[in-house]
Amino acid sequence: MSDPLINLNVGFAARNAAPIVPTARPVIRGSKDDKLQDGNAFKTMLSAQSLKFSQHAEQRLAQRGIKLGPEQLSAIATAVDQASAKGAKDSLVLYQNMAMIVNVPSRTVITAMDDKSMQQHVFTNIDSAVVVK
């Protein structure tokens, strides 16, 4: 008996038969795997919207007595979103009486300073600035 794929003496009916198309596996909603994937997607989305603070930034915030509430963090995160939309990599964010250098792709605040620390300060290694009102 020969292999049907190699046999050149295939009958007329077999040559004109419809091609075999694999069918897609049905998706069953509500399975354990779907719930895990949905939860991971939510965590990914949530972490993408939040800000991270480097150890250096946390030290500077503490040294300079800067406290950020939820509304302030939201306003700064919105500024980072705007910088990201413009393709910024490292941005100076000016908000109220403070300035922050933020790595936009990682959404990480690198350093922070109050208005006293900003006086006569030169900001380097940034490609954009966002003024938040």
Query: pLDDT, tens digit, for every residue of 52-98?
Result: 999 999 999 999 999 999 999 999 999 999 999 999 999 999 999 99
Query: pLDDT, tens digit, for every residue of 22-48?
Result: 445 444 445 454 444 555 554 444 444
pLDDT for 42: 47
Give the pTM. 0.63
- Judged by average pLDDT, the poorest of 14-23, 62-71, 91-100, 118-127 is 14-23
Enumerate the domain spans of the chain.
51-132
What dihedral angle (degrees, nearest 10) is formed by the CA atoms of 119, 90, 94, 68? -110
Pairing outcome for strands 90-95 and 98-103: antiparallel
